[in-house]
Amino acid sequence: MELSFEFSIDSSEKFPIVRRLETEAFFSKLLSLIEGSKGLSLEQFKKELSKLLNSLWLVEEESFFVSESIEGEIEKVNLCKLSFKKRGNSLEVEIKFELVVGGNSLEFRGVFITSKYLNGDLLFKALKEGNEADFVKELISQGEKFAVLVVDIQDFSKINDVFGIVNGDKILNDVLRRLKHKFEGEKCKVFRSYSDKFILVCKDGRKDILNFVEEVLSVFNHPFEVKGEKVYLSVNVGVAFFPEHGRNVISKAEIAQREALKRKRPFLIFSAELDVPNKVIEILTKVKDDLNEGRIEVIFQPKVELQTFKIVGAEALMRCSVPPADAIPVIVEYSLMYDVGRKILEKSFYYTKLLEEKGFGVPISVNISYVQLADRQFVRFVKKLLKKFSLEGNRFIFEITESEASLDDECIVETISQLRKMGIGISIDDFGMGYSSLSRLKLLKACELKIDRAFIKDVDKDPEILGIVKFAVDVASLLSMRTVAEGIERKDQVPILRRVGCSEGQGFLFSPPVEFREFVELLKKGYLRPKGVK
């Protein structure tokens, strides 16, 4: 399919930043919409266009113009204009189509004001350059030998905390400019990857690699300026080679960089000595591909009231092409939790809005990591999601683990306090596996305490375990919290949990995690009473 249309972009230095991955997804989805629009009504076309933009960015305002309102189905779509403009600190996306409806031609225009995810590639650069994964694939197909260097800035979140995320992003763009000025050429390409990470791909990279790494490190010997102040950055570099280290060469360079950080060394070349199993490399590659290609999804495990078995909520759980038990440790270890966590949260809000539109008001629980709680932009991000989907905070419960709840971190306590003010409930997850004190639980003012499945598993067999569960229920009651028993799998566990006063439960006895459509069908039934349980 070929398109000929007017395309314009504000490519000034201060152009609002859009992540490369979102840009690629935008064009892919726009083409799919055009190709699949035949037979839609104007109203349906408007909804699909709005859904497309909202699936990629946080749309704060949207408006539509139709030259003539005509009933009937769309017969043909021509894309006439696509423009991206800076509007203060926001991005304006304008899309104009010529539609043929009922034999008549009319103009259809949509204008969207969006917020960006900062710390990404400039849109015009992304369109021009593609991405490091594509470039590496091309070199592999050509049989080239090359090196990959992953450059990661240490503790960059502190820069964002001090100067703000916009100024932090300016520094990252300065880093990119320096690296490109010094190294970009016929034999070397420089890319900006996730947030504060940069990737250099160099042909014949084995030659003088140590000297080359020293040159990369020397870029950071000179300070960067922000708001009149000098800022020095420290980095770690990971190196891997093709063909020596195989096709997953980017993942192996990232593993080397991570190990350099652990060992407090400026750089490290990947080797078998790092003792990273091939399985980890495969998982890392698959998760990154899922993230890049929009395959991170959420499914739902219902929560039921133990007295009546009425469905009273659900926990949103991540799903990708790797089983969660394998994926989550790798996501945490290789610093993907920030991006994955945001995607899960946005998906959860999206599905909660769909539930509301279908008339279901049960709260949805979402697991929140320490990385998210410690992010000073997290509360702002949640507020924007609530606004984007027109949802109230009381539609959500954010689950944090007991170990995270017990951390003596003022930033986390303040974040939790702000979330509560928005109406969002706080749940202490995996209770019994950490070391939280009663005073700490009282300070956090959580509404729910989830008893870890490790205790529920033998609650009907071990009196000591039963005593621990009863203690947890008593603690929750003392602090006016609900209790949720996780991992209920046998019907004999239910009467015991009822007897000690446990409020709610979830587990395979009631339902495994299910996709959204199936969850809706369960909500229509309203109750999940196991066979043989009164």
Q: How confident is the model at residue 410 (pLDDT cuts 50, 70, 90)?
A: confident
Cis peptide before 16 (omega within 30 of 0): no
Evaluated on CA atoms 270, 276, 278, 280, the torsion sign reads negative
274 vs 371, residue with greater confidence: 371
Using alpha carbons, list the distances in angstroms from residue 67 to 48, 61, 70, 97.
Answer: 19, 20, 10, 11
* Residue 117: per-residue pLDDT: 39
* Residue 90: per-residue pLDDT: 66
Closest CA to 38 of 95, 76, 78: 76
Q: How confident is the model at residue 157 (pLDDT cuts 50, 70, 90)?
A: confident
**Residue 437: HSE in the Cβ half-sphere, 13 Å Cα cutoff:** 5
- Residue 501 CA to chain centroid, in angstroms? 36
Residue 16, pLDDT above cutoff 60? no
Report the percentage of the chain scoring pLDDT > 70.
85
Provide the pairing of β-strand 146-153 with 197-203: antiparallel
pTM over 0.85: no
Neighbouring CB atoms inside 10 A of 179's CB total 22
* Residue 406: per-residue pLDDT: 59
Q: How confident is the model at residue 402 (pLDDT cuts 50, 70, 90)?
A: low
Residue 492, pLDDT above cutoff 90? yes
Average pLDDT value for residue range 227-235? 90
* Distance separating alpha carbons of residues 513 and 486, to the nearest angstrom: 13
Neighbouring CB atoms inside 10 A of 327's CB total 22
H or E stretch covering 413? helix 410-421
Residue 194, pLDDT above cutoff 80? no
* Residue 278: per-residue pLDDT: 73
Helices (DSSP H) in 299-401: which residue ranges?
Answer: 324-333, 337-357, 370-373, 378-388
Residues whose CB falls within 8 Å of the CB of residue 413, separated by 6 or more in sequence, listed in order: 443, 444
* Residue 303: per-residue pLDDT: 98
**C-beta of residue 380 within 8 angstroms of C-beta of residue 414:** no
Q: List pLDDT tens digits, range 322-359.
A: 998 889 888 887 878 888 999 999 999 999 999 999 99
**C-beta of residue 95 within 8 angstroms of C-beta of residue 47:** no
Q: How confident is the model at residue 515 (pLDDT cuts 50, 70, 90)?
A: very high
* Residue 248: per-residue pLDDT: 85
Least confident piece of the model among 57-61, 185-189, 352-356, 393-397: 57-61
Helices (DSSP H) in 445-526: which residue ranges?
Answer: 453-456, 463-478, 493-499, 516-525
Using alpha carbons, list the distances in angstroms from residue 526 to 24, 236, 310, 313, 361.
Answer: 41, 53, 6, 11, 12
Q: What 3 state SS string does 5-62 have?
A: CEEEECCCCCCCCCCHHHHHHHHHHHHHHHHCCCCCCHHHHHHHHHHHHHHHCEEEEE
Average pLDDT value for residue range 188-202? 84
6 vs 144, residue with greater confidence: 144
Residue 380, pLDDT above cutoff 60? yes
Provide the pairing of β-strand 229-231 with 224-226: antiparallel
Which range in 17-26, 136-145, 522-531 is most confidently predicted, on average pLDDT? 522-531
Q: How confident is the model at residue 360 (pLDDT cuts 50, 70, 90)?
A: very high
Q: List pLDDT tens digits, range 94-149.
A: 899 999 988 888 889 998 887 643 333 334 333 334 467 778 888 888 888 899 99
Average pLDDT value for residue range 448-469? 91
* Distance separating alpha carbons of residues 455 and 469, to the nearest angstrom: 7
Cα angle: 68, vertex 72, 78; to 5 degrees: 65
**Residue 268: HSE in the Cβ half-sphere, 13 Å Cα cutoff:** 21
**Mean confidence (pLDDT) of the chain:** 84
Residue 237, pLDDT above cutoff 90? yes
* Domains parsed from the chain with CATH numbers: 6-115 (no CATH), 131-276 (3.30.70.270), 331-501 (3.20.20.450)
* Distance separating alpha carbons of residues 486 and 500, to the nearest angstrom: 15
* Distance separating alpha carbons of residues 395 and 363, to the nearest angstrom: 5
H or E stretch covering 172? helix 165-183
Instruction: Tell me the helices (H) and strands (E) count for the chain, helix number first.
Output: 20, 20
434 vs 398, residue with greater confidence: 398
Amino acid, res. 416:
I
Residue 443, pLDDT above cutoff 60? yes
Count of residues in the chain: 534
H or E stretch covering 449? strand 448-451
Two tokens, residue 528? 């999940």
Amino acid, res. 137:
K
